[in-house]
Amino acid sequence: MGHGWEGVVLKLMRGRDFTFTVTATEQVTDGFRRVHVTDGGLLAATGGAHPTMWVRLWFERAGKPHQRAYTLVDPDPEAGTFSLDFALHDGPATDWARAAEPGDTIDATLQGTGFSLPEPAPARLFVIGDPASLPAINSLLDAVPETPATIWFETAPGSDEKPPLRLDPARHTLHRVERHDRGAALVASVKSTLPQLLGDDTSDAYVWIACDTATTRSLSGYVRKELAVTKERVHALGYWR
C-alpha cells in the first residue's frame, strides 16, 4: 500500500521510512494493548532514542492510507527493538493492534520527533495528558526518575480502569480527571491546582502538555501568559483533534 499525498508531504519534509515486524503482543489492561516489534533499522539510523520519541504508523482506512503517531516504548538500540502501546477504541489502528500476530509488518515514517529536556534539568515536573499520550508520559517519567512530578491524567467518563502509568508513590502525584465538555474539566482542574503548586518562582519547573489540540492550546497559553512560565520551560503538543 502506498502512503498517498500524506506520504509525499512527509517525504518532502525529509521523513524516513521503515518497516517494523511484530514479535509478540500483550494486553496491558482492558484499554491498552502492547505490540512488540523489531525496528527495521530505525534506532541504528537515528543513533538511538530520546524521551517521548515517536513515529507515524500507516494503516488502511476505507481503502486509503491513514497515519497516526505512536511513542516508542522501552526502545533497545542494541537489540533494535521497542514496543508500541495502543489505547483501544474504534478505528483502524485499534483493529490492527487487536489482530496483530508475530511476523506481521507495518510501515512507519520518522519525521518531526525532536525533543530534549531543558538545561538545567527541572527540579519539578508537571505533566498533563490523556490515554493518547500515556506512553510518552511514561517515557518522560523514566527519563527523570528522581524528579518529583505531578500528573493530571484525563480519562473516559465513568472509567474505573487504572491507567498503566509508571508511577513512584514517593515522587509522583496523580490527579485523574474525567473528560467532560471537550476537555473543559481538565482545564479547570489544572487551573485550580497548578498555580499553588508552581508558586512564584517557576525557574526550576518544567510543564509538559500533550492532550487534544484545543485543550493543549488552551493550557499552554495559560501557563505561559498567566503563570509566566518561560517558553523554554513548557513543552506543548496537541496529540489529536
- Where do the structural domains in the chain lie, given as residue ranges? 4-110, 124-236
Please name the amino acid found at residue 153: F
Whether 5 shows a pLDDT value over 80: the answer reads no
Helix, strand and coil percent figures for the chain, each rounded to 5: 30, 35, 35
Q: What is the predicted pLDDT for the residue at 199?
A: 96
pLDDT for residue 8: 62
pLDDT at 13 over 70: no
Please give the residue that has the higher pLDDT: either 114 or 186.
186
Average pLDDT, the chain: 93
User: What is residue 130's predicted lDDT score, i.e. its pLDDT?
Assistant: 96
Alpha-helix runs per DSSP H in 105-241 = 134-143, 184-198, 213-221
Intrachain domains 4-110 and 124-236 with the same fold:
no
Whether the pTM exceeds 0.95: the reply is: no
Lowest average pLDDT, out of 110-119, 121-130, 198-207, 211-220, goes to: 110-119
pLDDT tens-digit series, residues 14-54? 679 999 999 999 999 999 999 999 999 999 999 999 999 99
CATH 1.20.1260.10 fits 124-236, yes or no: no
Fold exhibited by the domain 4-110? Elongation Factor Tu (Ef-tu); domain 3 (2.40.30)
152 in Cβ contact with 211 (< 8 Å): no
